[in-house]
């Protein structure tokens, strides 16, 4: 008889399974709840943590409890009016401003891209395989992530065999799945070649340096310069970016997050005159409110077409 578990597991993203498991442990172990539970217990659980956790965290805990009950064949207590009313009251009494990631501005993107390019070339001249690979990978990761508005988890799902590179023209790729792609249909994306800080050139340089023709596009590199066979862990994306930002001399490099690339691109596109529909189609957003959360009209960006040609190259720290 065929084993259903691999297919059942594949239907839910790894991050979701892990966060649900953590939420269930919190309910049972830290709070002392019992499963299956009741609407009254769920409401008291929410009230006990109303001042400690954000409304988004509480909603995630509710989603985990709902999922557990549905999978086990029990009635879902989180849908009861009592729970919904308590959650609404918490939102009213404990309002919180949603924290936004710092957007990576175009000039900052250029500073880091130029530093990584110079550092990668020097490492290659010195036959330093480890740093050559690191700098080439990190540059491709950053530029592709910025210009396509990718999430960190989306970058880890890209595969070499799903990418068609045409130097001087552009790139066509396939993303197998994403957060908004609930049915795992995947989507095709296209990117044009750019005159400066080009993701096409960066990806080509990384693939050439790695000497690979298939497998995950972005993989780990150990201290001896050996490449991993599995995709980068999603939790490693932010440390990689922060390290590159710090090496290139960006102030407060530690303050950037996995959404900084996407927010940076969204703000640049908005300032450059993209209409909202075009931006949503390009990035893959399905809801207007999702797109609007990433945009800040006050962020100053340079238009790409002219300024990529004429903007002065920022002074770069010495590669190390």
Predicted confidence at residue 300, as pLDDT, reads: 41
Predicted confidence at residue 271, as pLDDT, reads: 82
What stretches of the chain adopt beta strand conformation (E)? 163-166, 170-175, 187-192, 219-221, 227-231
Predicted confidence at residue 27, as pLDDT, reads: 96
**265-312 residue pLDDT tens:** 888 888 888 877 777 778 776 666 666 666 664 444 334 433 444 344
- What domains appear along the chain, each with residue ranges and CATH number? 15-93 (1.10.150.130), 106-310 (1.10.443.10)
Half-sphere exposure of 133 (CA within 13 A, CB side): 18
Average pLDDT, the chain: 85
- Residue 164 phi, psi (nearest 5): -110, 105
**34-93 residue pLDDT tens:** 999 999 999 999 999 999 998 989 999 999 999 999 999 999 999 999 999 999 999 999
Token pair, residue 4, equals 């259903």
**Lowest mean pLDDT, pick from 70-74, 78-82, 169-173, 178-182:** 178-182
- What global pTM score does this model have? 0.71
Q: Which of 27, 28, 74, 20 is nearest to 46 (CA)?
A: 27
pLDDT exceeds cutoff 80 at 193: yes
> Rg (Cα) of the chain, in Å, rounded?
22
Q: Are 49 and 90 in contact (CB under 8 A)?
A: no
**Lowest mean pLDDT, pick from 44-48, 144-148, 190-194, 300-304:** 300-304
């Amino acid at each position: 008889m065929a084993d259903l578990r691999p297919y059942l597991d594949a239907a839910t993203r790894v991050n979701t399974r892990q966060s649900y498991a953590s939420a269930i442990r919190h309910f049972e172990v830290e709070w002392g709840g019992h499963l299956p539970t009741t609407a009254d217990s769920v409401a008291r659980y929410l009230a006990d943590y109303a001042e400690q956790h954000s409304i988004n965290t509480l909603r995630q805990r509710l989603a985990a409890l709902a999922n557990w009950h549905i999978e086990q064949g029990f009635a879902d207590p989180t849908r009861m009016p009592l729970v919904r009313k308590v959650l609404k009251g918490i939102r009213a009494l404990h309002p919180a401003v949603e924290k936004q990631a710092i957007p990576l501005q175009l000039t900052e993107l250029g500073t880091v891209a130029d530093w990584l390019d110079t550092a990668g070339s020097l490492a290659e001249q010195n036959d330093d395989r480890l740093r050559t690979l690191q700098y080439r990978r990190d540059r491709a990761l950053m530029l592709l992530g910025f210009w396509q508005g990718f999430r960190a988890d989306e970058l880890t799902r890209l595969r070499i065999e799903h990418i068609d590179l045409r130097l001087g023209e552009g790139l066509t790729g396939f993303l197998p799945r994403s957060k908004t792609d609930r049915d795992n249909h995947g989507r095709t994306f296209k990117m044009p070649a750019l005159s400066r800080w080009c993701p096409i050139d960066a990806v080509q340089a990384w693939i050439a340096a790695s000497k690979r023709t298939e497998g995950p596009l972005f993989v780990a590199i150990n201290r001896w310069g050996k490449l991993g066979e599995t995709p980068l862990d999603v939790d490693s994306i932010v440390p990689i970016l922060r390290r590159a930002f710090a090496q290139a001399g960006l102030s407060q490099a530690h303050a950037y997050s996995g959404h900084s690339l996407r927010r940076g691109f969204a703000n640049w596109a908005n300032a450059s005159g993209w209409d909202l529909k075009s931006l949503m189609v390009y990035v893959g957003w399905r809801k207007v409110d999702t797109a609007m959360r990433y945009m800040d009209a006050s962020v100053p960006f340079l238009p790409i077409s002219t300024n990529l040609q004429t903007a002065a190259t920022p002074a770069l720290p010495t590669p190390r």
